Structure 1
Amino acid sequence: MSELSRPLVEQAIRNYQDPYLKRDLIAAGAVESIEIEGGKVRVAICLSYPAGGLCNAIGQLVSSAISNLDGVTDTQVNVRFEVAAHPGQHNLEALQSVKNVVAVASGKGGVGKSTTAVNLALALSAEGARVGILDADIYGPSLGLMLGIAEGTRPQVRDQKWFVPVEAQGLKLMSMAFLTDDRTPVVWRGPMASGALQQLMTQTEWGELDYLVVDMPPGTGDIQLTLSQQVPLAGAVIVTTPQDLALLDAKKGVEMFNKVNVPVLGIVENMAVHICSQCGHAEHLFGEGGGTRIADLYDTDLLASMPLSMSIREQVDKGQPTVAAEPDGQLATLYREVARQVGATLALRAEQAVAAPTISINED
């Protein structure tokens, strides 16, 4: 019988391959400590992405693997997570106390971008992260309605300088809708809209956030360029439908972020399939496989392929997005899967940024 030792415990831990970090927990540097006292083993694990819904299950799997070792009489595995901060593009100065800014964008309107943004934010929050969301669609803000904010709500102002974000369903929210009337259009030229976005972003007192999700307006115009060039974006999620026309515009969105050195974290394909509520027949109304094709083309991940579901539309119209309305439902599970993938991808990029060597030149 082999004597219980740290290498044996580490080998047992390696049996669990994290599906989001895509390697075992030892290789991922997630094991904080291993303590062995006789037959008692204590392990502390810290994941680098929001995984509140997984911590107990991971702890049980690792504990079971360790318990199978000869000589182990008692096992305790504690799993937690801590979100890492990701540096933005062009070494832009980070927003104070905001670790990661994630843009949710689309090349064209009507593909479910705002619905994806709000459910992604709620899913990150459901996994235990501290999350804010900014409605960057200056001309057509909709997140207030989606989160059930009463018409006429206005943000408080602190020290005559800072907007205090409105809180709803665990999220901190700021939107142009809070500063204008619902029936009054914002008739501004591009520079004015871009300036307003900068103010909403930088003059909102976000507090300590792991993620600030930014719901971008559709297209690749002034507002998108302002955000991409002046805000430290950790990455972008592109939303599309399988339709060829939507994919054409989605490609433009990906190319825009590539040009400004903002990593594309993945593709969310909406309205992928419709399942008849009467007979159960599945039909691809807008085409099939488009999200996979664009993900393969740009060597990124297809984060989710969401169905064309009436419930998704009805829930956001009622101010209760899917993740909040049916937190244990199948669709909410898909959104939480997207949240973990986005968080893990950002964590890996942050790790690579820290590990990258620096080059210094001495002219002596």
Structure 2
Amino acid sequence: MNKKEEILAILKEIIDPEIGRDIVSAGFVQDLEILDDKVLMRLVLTSIACPLKDYFKNEITKKLKEKFEWIKDVEIAIDAKSYDVFSQRKKVEGVKNIIAILSGKGGVGKSTVSINLAFALSEKGKKVGLLDADVYGPTISIMGGKGKIIFEDDKIIPYERDGVKIISLGYLTSKDAPIIWRGPLIHSALRQLLFDTKWGEIDYLIIDLPPGTGDPIISLSQLTYLKGGIAVTTPQDVAISDVRRAINMLFKLYIPFLGIIENMSYFKCDN
């Protein structure tokens, strides 16, 4: 084999966890070139915002430098396929509407809003599910009460309280265990919680997202169809500044913006 064939053979060891195919067979590796001790390539993904892009870049660089001593530098340009970047989205079986609750800053009461909204809709006679997608700080498992999630026929059976079906990683991990996950693991976890859960017939699935504009909301927008997003903030300037970024992110991801809730608000009298 020549050098290019040897490189492609090594790159075939890198598997996309989402589709179960290697990055060469999937057509991600394009325009591979060798210039002396440098390897150049274009990595064509489904989206520029693909949560796996850093994982792929790191794995490619690591494997090539470990295998071939003559490679001193690996240059990877990220590109996106020209077709709709959201074409892989699927509907969650039995779920009519999915609403994401997000914020730019932590500590603004996003989880409190999520659980109150879920139970308020339930009291109005709607069938409701509540998914805690805040993988780093899953507090819905505390607010929702002590529950238990069981597995049946390769499906996750959510904990149900007062008619609301609740899924949280807090029910699956020990109380003090940190969840130290990067993008690919978060993407896989969200996919499993969405599609491997036996939701039944649900009018509204409320998703409590972690603060910020990172992997979870990007993955969610690529996995399924969202009815819209509700942003939560507090009156402080720092929270308002961050929530503006979160709202603009919704527009960039083509998620309808449903409104903003100013939590912990107050009225200051003139006297």
Question: Is the shorter-chain TM-score for this pair beyond 0.5, marking a shared fold?
Answer: yes
Offset from partner CA, 1:194-244 (integer Å, 9 cap, x none): 211211111100000000000001000011110122221110110011111
- Equivalences for residues 233-252 of structure 1 within 5 A: 233-252=226-245
Indicate if the aligned counterparts of 2:133 and 2:210 stay in contact, CA closer than 8 A: yes
Instruction: State the shift of 1:91 in Å.
Output: 8.4
State the partner residue of 2:196.
203
Instruction: State the shift of 1:191 in Å.
Output: 1.6
State the partner residue of 2:130.
133
Distance 1:259 1:229 in 2: 12
**Is 1:104 matched up with 2:101?**
yes
The counterpart of 2:110, out of the listed 95, 101, 113, is 113
**Is 1:156 matched up with 2:153?**
no
Q: Which TM-score applies when normalising by structure 2?
A: 0.65
State the partner residue of 2:121.
124
Indicate if the aligned counterparts of 1:138 and 1:197 stay in contact, CA closer than 8 A: no
Distance 2:88 2:188 in 1: 21
Distance 1:194 1:141 in 2: 16
SS of 1:199's equivalent? helix
- Equivalences for residues 1-364 of structure 1 within 5 A: 92-150=89-147, 153=148, 155-159=149-153, 161-273=154-266, 282-283=267-268
Offset from partner CA, 1:257-287 (integer Å, 9 cap, x none): 10111101011110111xxxxxxxx549xxx
SS of 1:120's equivalent? helix
SS of 2:232's equivalent? strand
Instruction: State the shift of 1:90 in Å.
Output: 5.9
The number of residue pairs the alignment matches comes to 184
Identity %: 46
RMSD: 1.6
Distance 2:190 2:136 in 1: 11
Distance 1:91 1:201 in 2: 14
Q: Name the aligned partner's letter for residue 156 of structure 1.
A: I
State the partner residue of 2:54.
none
State the partner residue of 1:323.
none
Instruction: State the shift of 1:139 in Å.
Output: 1.1
- Tell me which stretches of 4 or more aligned residues in structure 1 moved more than 3 Å: 89-92
SS of 1:196's equivalent? helix
Distance 1:186 1:283 in 2: 41
Indicate if the aligned counterparts of 2:88 and 2:222 stay in contact, CA closer than 8 A: no
Distance 1:141 1:98 in 2: 22
The change in CA–CA distance for 1:93 and 1:197 in structure 2 (over 3 A counts) is closer
SS of 1:173's equivalent? strand
Give unpaired runs (5+ residues) of structure 2: 1-85
Indicate if the aligned counterparts of 1:147 and 1:169 stay in contact, CA closer than 8 A: no
SS of 1:228's equivalent? helix
Instruction: State the shift of 1:145 in Å.
Output: 0.9
Distance 1:201 1:240 in 2: 26
SS of 1:211's equivalent? strand
Q: Which TM-score applies when normalising by structure 1?
A: 0.49
SS of 1:217's equivalent? coil
Distance 2:187 2:91 in 1: 19
The change in CA–CA distance for 1:261 and 1:223 in structure 2 (over 3 A counts) is same
Distance 2:140 2:90 in 1: 27
Distance 2:156 2:88 in 1: 26
